[in-house]
């Protein structure tokens, strides 16, 4: 089984600082997007059961090498990094173009796994667009995966219902956070990961140029605002329960937490 | 530009892995539960083994991960950050970890197979037992004796205030002990001592005491006596008569990791303090606006960063010591500075942050008090009292004649 996992070296939004209403991007910490780690864990589980090879692929800054090394320590076999010439300013269409050409440069695939969305952009577009670009079927929002011969049986989480589908390989799957808990690599695995290969491609290696990617990229970020949440710290005390509940409800209605 | 403060990619990833493991398994709520129940759950111990952080400096060819002392410090710092009572760091990263390395360096293949490798797998406990009822600092005055009889040693004596006695009894394992094997000349009482590894289930070994500690409740402290305990010569560590020097080497390694884990405690407690003083209001302002508090934070953070720099520099020196580039005495000097400074800084941070919290800080609803109780153990003794570190420093700075317990030459 040949598995490719797409992983983003995303901004660690939980650590992002806001200064004068703007997120401070300079020197901001990055990490492998959480849900992409679920995708890597899903790939490792499949490999443990059915054998195969796992390649992780990232379109991002050169510093993403560190994130890729973590995925290698988790259990991926090879890593590929396409250096993003734009410092993260390209949209999902351009990202998908780079990922698609990189995957075509590899020796085929049975399964492509992505997270359902990334923790910073959260567009949920890369997986579906990539499947379209590579002309393979896709199963999105997957919470469990079984392999049945040449087919994948996957359970989709559609919030109100779970839908089980059967699709022949090759195909692309996007997974949810609920599919698994990504493993933490142990010391020996981290030390061994240094010996696994990380291939670095420039976009020119894929027959692309910065201009071409900018042409494909139709989304332009005009401004980026940050906001901070202040707690209200309202305390309701020394009242009978019924009265206190009513008061709490009135606050929640006022704040539009509850709607009528 | 030879100076470089960066960690390697491996070290950064190891820090991240340990941090994430702690966030899942060693939360402050879990630590509170451990402190209340007085034990570290077996799954935590096993989990640390699976994470590969037990005895991490033991060379790969002996079953360890073979990481350097800088990495061992990173592990200690992160475990200290998570378990601010220091019980987990003291038991597994200092006592087992640092002493485990030193044990592996001097032990026979039999001890390695039966104890060191199982300790790395989290199956057995290995510890250090030198302190006696008469004192801990004056190692050379210990009363435990070992007499040779054929291929065996017959050991008699009693050890006291020993970490992990109950765990060692329950799960198996043993201790590095020090015993007098020949009379010493009066001017050099540390000579004539030999180190041994004592399997805890050897006939004649009996636990005599379990202490009720003030802090770091999750790991036991006890005493045990040895009555005509017979140990095969394979359980002797290194050469006969050199036990004192090996033990000092073990103390140095352990003191370094204590300092690193104390830095983890310091940072965690200060972060708890920062959250609180930004959120708690008095007289219309967050109390962090009052300089009586915010300046204390500024001072403590500065001391912490300075001490961390000292600790990691010393870890770097300790690595080079094992490559023959620094003398053991030079590194001892730095290690003593780390041990002198780091635990007391952690204690001070706990004390200040408790005070910032007001009455709440004095309750067990606030986590900081368990750090305060736990860290005190590192300050009182735990691999050497503060005044012993000062004695080492005086010896190195002024010369051996200035050591207080030595007679000045006429």
Among B74, B58, B26, B39, CA closest to B315: B74
Q: Compare CB distances from B10 to A184, A186, A191 and report the shortest one's residue.
A: A191
Q: Compare CB distances from B51 to A66, A184, A191 and report the shortest one's residue.
A: A184
Closest approach of B206 to chain A, Cα-based (Å): 36
Closest approach of A223 to chain B, Cα-based (Å): 30
B56 touches chain A (CB under 8 A): yes
Chain A residue whose CA is closest to B52: A187
SS3 labels along A192-245: HHCCCCEEEECHHHHCCCHHHHHHHCCCCCCCCCCCCCCCCCCCCCCCCHHHHH
Round to whole Å and give the CA distance between B207 and B224. 4
Cα angle for residues B392, B393, B397 (degrees, 5° grid): 125
Chain A residue whose CA is closest to B25: A184
Beta-strand ranges (E) seen in B73-220 are 125-129, 145-149, 152-163, 173-180, 193-199, 205-210
Q: Compare CB distances from B65 to A69, A73, A191 and report the shortest one's residue.
A: A191
- What is the average pLDDT across A49-56? 96
Query: Do the beta carbons of residue B178 and residue B158 sit within 8 Å?
Result: no
Instruction: Specify the domain boundaries for CATH 1.10.540.10 within chain B.
Output: 9-125
* CATH code linked to domain B127-242: 2.40.110.10
Burial bucket for residue B64 (CB in 10 Å: 0-12, 13-18, 19+): buried
Residue B61: C-alpha distances to residues A253, B57, B112, B249, B275 (Å)? 66, 11, 11, 21, 45
Q: Phi and psi for A167 in degrees, rounded to 5?
A: -135, 135
A187–B20 CB contact, under 8 Å: no
Closest approach of B51 to chain A, Cα-based (Å): 4
- Report pLDDT for A206: 96
Instruction: State the pLDDT confidence band at A89, using cuts at 50, 70 and 90.
Output: confident
- Report pLDDT for B387: 87
| Tokens of residue B82, six digits | 């998570």
A190 touches chain B (CB under 8 A): yes
DSSP letter assigned to residue B400: G
Query: Do the beta carbons of residue A74 and residue A91 sit within 8 Å?
Result: no
Summarize pLDDT for A238-250 with one digit per residue, the tens: 899 999 999 999 9
**What 3-state class would DSSP assign to B221?**
strand
- Report pLDDT for B408: 56
A70–B24 CB contact, under 8 Å: no
B119 touches chain A (CB under 8 A): no
Closest approach of B282 to chain A, Cα-based (Å): 14
A37 touches chain B (CB under 8 A): no
> How many helices and strands in chain B, by DSSP H and E?
14, 10
B13–A184 CB contact, under 8 Å: no
Round to whole Å and give the CA distance between A39 and A87. 24
User: Residue B157 — left, alpha, or beta (φ > 0 → left; ψ -120 to 50 → alpha)?
Assistant: left
The interface predicted TM-score of the complex, written ipTM, equals 0.90
Suggest the residue from A62, A187, A192, A233 to mutate for an interface test with chain B (most B CBs closer than 10 A): A187
**What 3-state class would DSSP assign to B5?**
coil
Which residues from A are below 8 Å from B65, CB to CB?
A: 187-188, 191
B128 touches chain A (CB under 8 A): no
Non-local CB neighbours of B362 within 8 Å, separated by 6+ positions: B354, B369
Q: Contacts from B380-385 at CB under 8 Å and sequence distance 24+?
A: B381/B131, B381/B136, B381/B137, B381/B161, B382/B90, B382/B94, B382/B163, B382/B258, B382/B343, B383/B94, B383/B128, B383/B251, B383/B254, B383/B255, B383/B258, B383/B339, B384/B137, B384/B251, B384/B255, B384/B336, B384/B339, B385/B136, B385/B137
Non-local CB neighbours of B249 within 8 Å, separated by 6+ positions: B102, B328
**What 3-state class would DSSP assign to B7?**
coil
Which residues from B are below 8 Å from A187, CB to CB?
A: 14, 17, 51-53, 56, 65, 67
Round to whole Å and give the CA distance between B178 and B181. 9
Instruction: Work out the mean pLDDT of chain A and round it to a whole number.
Output: 94
Burial bucket for residue A108 (CB in 10 Å: 0-12, 13-18, 19+): exposed
Work out whether the CA dihedral A11, A13, A19, A23 comes out positive or negative: positive
Summarize pLDDT for A120-130 with one digit per residue, the tens: 989 999 999 99
- Report pLDDT for B188: 77
A213 touches chain B (CB under 8 A): no
User: What radius of gyration do chain B's Cα atoms show?
Assistant: 21
Which residues from B are below 8 Å from A190, CB to CB?
A: 10, 13-14, 17
Suggest the residue from B17, B57, B65, B284 to mutate for an interface test with chain A (most A CBs closer than 10 A): B17
User: Residue B147 — left, alpha, or beta (φ > 0 → left; ψ -120 to 50 → alpha)?
Assistant: beta
What is the mean pLDDT for each group of 10 consecutive residues in chain B (410 residues)? Answer: 91 97 97 96 96 96 96 98 96 92 96 97 95 76 90 95 94 95 80 94 94 94 96 96 93 96 98 96 94 97 98 97 92 96 97 97 96 94 84 89 69
Tokens 């030879």, located at residue = B2
- What is the average pLDDT across A192-200? 96
A187–B12 CB contact, under 8 Å: no
Res A228 pLDDT > 80 = no
Closest approach of B65 to chain A, Cα-based (Å): 6
B56–A185 CB contact, under 8 Å: no
A66–B20 CB contact, under 8 Å: no
- Neighbouring CB atoms inside 10 A of B284's CB total 6
- What is the average pLDDT across A186-209? 96
- Report pLDDT for A61: 94
Query: Nearest 10 degrees: CA dihedral of B370, B372, B375, B379?
Result: -150
Closest approach of A190 to chain B, Cα-based (Å): 7
* CATH code linked to domain B9-125: 1.10.540.10
* Structural element, H or E, at residue A163: strand A162-168
B56–A188 CB contact, under 8 Å: no
A188–B65 CB contact, under 8 Å: yes
| DSSP output for A80-115 | EEEEPTTTT-S-HHHHHHHHHHHHHHSS--SEEEEE
Closest approach of B319 to chain A, Cα-based (Å): 18
Q: Is A2-216 CATH 3.40.50.620? A: yes
B67 touches chain A (CB under 8 A): yes
Res A260 pLDDT > 70 = no
Closest approach of B14 to chain A, Cα-based (Å): 6
B17–A191 CB contact, under 8 Å: no
Total-model pTM: 0.91
Query: Nearest 10 degrees: CA dihedral of B338, B344, B348, B353?
Result: 70
- Neighbouring CB atoms inside 10 A of A18's CB total 12
Which residues from B are below 8 Å from A191, CB to CB?
A: 10, 65, 67
A184–B67 CB contact, under 8 Å: no
Among B254, B212, B209, CA closest to B383: B254
Which residues from A are below 8 Å from B56, CB to CB?
A: 187
Q: Compare CB distances from A190 to B13, B24, B50 and report the shortest one's residue.
A: B13
Query: Do the beta carbons of residue B184 and residue B140 sit within 8 Å?
Result: yes
Residue A156: C-alpha distances to residues A18, A39, A40, A173, A223 (Å)? 36, 14, 18, 10, 35
- The A residues from 48 to 67 touching B (CB cutoff 8 Å) are 65-66
B14–A184 CB contact, under 8 Å: no
Q: Compare CB distances from A187 to B12, B20, B53 and report the shortest one's residue.
A: B53
**What 3-state class would DSSP assign to A258?**
coil
Burial bucket for residue B15 (CB in 10 Å: 0-12, 13-18, 19+): middle
Among B226, B229, B245, CA closest to B237: B245
Cα angle for residues B56, B58, B59 (degrees, 5° grid): 115
Which residues from B are below 8 Å from A198, CB to CB?
A: none
State the greatest distance between any 2 C-alpha atoms of chain B, in Å, as a whole number: 79
Name the fold adopted by B244-402. Butyryl-CoA Dehydrogenase, subunit A; domain 3 (1.20.140)
Instruction: Specify the domain boundaries for CATH 2.40.110.10 within chain B.
Output: 127-242
Burial bucket for residue A150 (CB in 10 Å: 0-12, 13-18, 19+): exposed
- Report pLDDT for A226: 82
Instruction: Specify the domain boundaries for CATH 1.20.140.10 within chain B.
Output: 244-402
B21–A184 CB contact, under 8 Å: yes
Suggest the residue from A190, A194, A196 to mutate for an interface test with chain B (most B CBs closer than 10 A): A190
Residue B67: C-alpha distances to residues B59, B72, B401 (Å)? 8, 7, 38
């Amino acid at each position: 089984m040949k598995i490719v996992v797409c992983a983003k070296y995303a901004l660690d939004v939980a650590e992002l600082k806001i200064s004068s209403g703007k997120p401070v991007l300079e020197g901001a910490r990055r990490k492998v997007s959480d849900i992409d780690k679920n995708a890597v864990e899903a790939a490792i589980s499949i490999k443990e059961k059915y054998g195969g090879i796992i390649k992780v692929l990232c379109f991002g800054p050169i510093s993403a090498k560190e994130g890729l090394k973590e995925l290698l320590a988790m259990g991926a076999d090879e890593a590929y990094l396409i250096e993003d010439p734009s410092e993260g300013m390209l949209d999902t269409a351009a990202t998908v173009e780079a990922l698609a050409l990189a995957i075509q440069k590899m020796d085929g695939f049975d399964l492509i796994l992505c997270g359902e969305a990334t923790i910073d952009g959260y567009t949920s577009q890369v997986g579906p667009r990539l499947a379209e670009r590579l002309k393979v079927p896709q199963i999105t929002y997957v919470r469990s995966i079984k392999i049945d011969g040449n087919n994948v049986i996957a359970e989709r989480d559609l919030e109100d219902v779970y839908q089980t589908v059967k699709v022949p390989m090759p195909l692309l799957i996007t997974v949810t956070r609920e599919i698994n808990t990504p493993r933490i690599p142990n010391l020996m695995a981290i030390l061994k990961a240094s010996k696994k290969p990380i291939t670095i491609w420039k976009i020119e290696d894929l027959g692309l140029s910065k201009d071409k990617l900018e042409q494909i990229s139709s989304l332009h970020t005009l401004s980026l605002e940050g906001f901070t949440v202040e707690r209200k710290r309202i305390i309701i005390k020394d009242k009978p329960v019924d009265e206190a509940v009513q008061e709490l409800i009135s606050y929640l209605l006022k704040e539009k937490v509850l709607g009528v | 530009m030879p100076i470089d403060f960066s960690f390697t990619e491996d070290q950064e990833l190891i820090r991240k892995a340990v941090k994430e493991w702690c966030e899942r398994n060693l939360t402050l709520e879990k630590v509170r539960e451990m402190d209340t129940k007085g034990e570290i759950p077996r799954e935590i111990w096993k989990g640390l083994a699976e994470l590969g952080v037990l005895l991490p400096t033991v060379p790969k060819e002996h079953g360890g991960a073979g990481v350097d002392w800088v990495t061992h410090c990173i592990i200690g710092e992160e475990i200290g950050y998570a378990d601010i009572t220091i019980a987990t760091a003291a038991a597994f990263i200092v006592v087992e970890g640092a002493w485990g390395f030193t044990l592996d360096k001097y032990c026979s293949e039999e001890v390695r197979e039966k104890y060191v490798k199982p300790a790395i797998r989290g199956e057995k406990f290995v510890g250090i037992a030198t302190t006696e009822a008469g004192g801990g600092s004056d190692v050379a005055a210990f009363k435990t004796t070992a007499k040779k009889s054929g291929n065996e040693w017959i050991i008699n004596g009693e050890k006291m205030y020993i970490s992990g006695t109950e765990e060692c009894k329950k799960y198996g394992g043993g201790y590095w002990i020090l015993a007098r094997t020949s009379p010493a000349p009066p001017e050099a009482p540390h000579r004539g001592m030999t180190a041994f590894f004592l399997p805890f289930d050897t006939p004649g070994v009996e636990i005599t005491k379990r202490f009720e500690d003030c802090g770091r409740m999750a790991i036991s402290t006890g005493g045990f006596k040895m009555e005509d305990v017979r140990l095969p010569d394979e359980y002797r560590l290194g050469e006969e008569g050199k036990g004192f020097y090996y033990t000092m080497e073990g103390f140095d390694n352990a003191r370094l990791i204590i300092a690193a884990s104390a830095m983890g405690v310091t940072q965690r407690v200060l972060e708890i303090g920062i959250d609180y003083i930004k959120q708690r209001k008095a007289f219309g302002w967050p109390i962090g606006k009052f300089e009586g508090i915010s300046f204390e934070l500024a001072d403590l953070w500065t001391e912490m960063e300075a001490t961390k720099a000292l600790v990691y520099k010393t870890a770097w020196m300790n690595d080079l010591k094992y490559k023959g580039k620094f003398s053991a005495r030079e590194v001892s000097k730095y290690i003593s500075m780390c041990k002198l400074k780091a635990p007391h800084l952690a204690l001070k941070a706990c004390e200040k942050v408790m005070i910032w919290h007001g009455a709440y800080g004095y309750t067990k609803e606030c986590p900081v008090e368990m750090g305060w109780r736990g860290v005190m153990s590192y300050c009182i003794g735990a691999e050497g009292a503060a005044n012993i570190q000062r004695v080492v420093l005086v010896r190195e700075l002024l010369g051996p004649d200035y050591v207080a317990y030595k007679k000045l030459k006429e």
